[in-house]
Structure 1
């Protein structure tokens, strides 16, 4: 099996996210994936099973959910997306997401919201 490049890995999760295809979405992530919110390094999700539970109940349950890619950078094994997330509220949510990819799977995700959470 050929390992996915960091770009291929992130593209796969992005497409599956927009299709709300949870099984396919999860194939891009390592079992020990961890997600943090910056700048305070709050651990948001710990592990692939928790990822599945969160996205099934908190994201993919929204019929209008979709991510709009504004910009993407690849720097070594890191991919940084600038996105607008539609369908979670009345206005899109602007965010940046940095994915760290190791051995063909996303191991760490850093979410950088444009606005600080209340």
Structure 2
């Protein structure tokens, strides 16, 4: 089976996120994926098990959870999404996310919140 392109990989995780399909969501990530918050480079999640635990207990429990894609750019092996995340609170959360894809899997994620980090 051919490796997923960066766009295919990010599309897979995005669709699985909106379906709250944890196994399919995690299948888009490398085992050693790391997630950071910019601009301070705070490490948010380290490794696929941490992703699974976080999304199972903190995100996919929200029945109204969904990401609305406002725009997307693909630059080489990087995909940058501008999103509104619905269902975490009364107002959507605006964010940008940069995914770095290597060998068909998401290896690094950089979250860029619109507001101050919480």
1:112 is matched with which residue?
112
The corresponding residue for 1:22 is 22
Root-mean-square deviation (CA), in Å?
Answer: 0.5
Matched, 1:81 2:81: yes
SS in 2 for 1:40: coil
Q: CA deviation at 1:116?
A: 1.1
Stretches of 4+ aligned residues off by more than 2 angstroms:
none
Deviation at 1:85, TM superposition (A): 0.1
Gaps of 5+ in 2: none
Q: CA deviation at 1:16?
A: 0.1
1:13 is aligned to 13
> How many angstroms apart in 2 are the aligned matches of 1:91 and 1:46?
28
d(CA) in 1 for partners of 2:114, 2:70? 13
Give the structure 2 partner of residue 64 of structure 1: 64
Name the residue aligned to 1:46.
46
Q: SS at the partner of 2:7? A: helix
Aligned-pair distance for 1:67?
0.1
Q: Please, what TM-score do these two structures have when normalized by structure 1?
A: 0.99
Aligned partners of 2:87 and 2:63: how far apart in 1?
Answer: 7
Whether 1:96 and 2:93 are equivalent positions in the alignment is no
Query: Alpha-carbon deviation of 1:27?
Result: 0.3
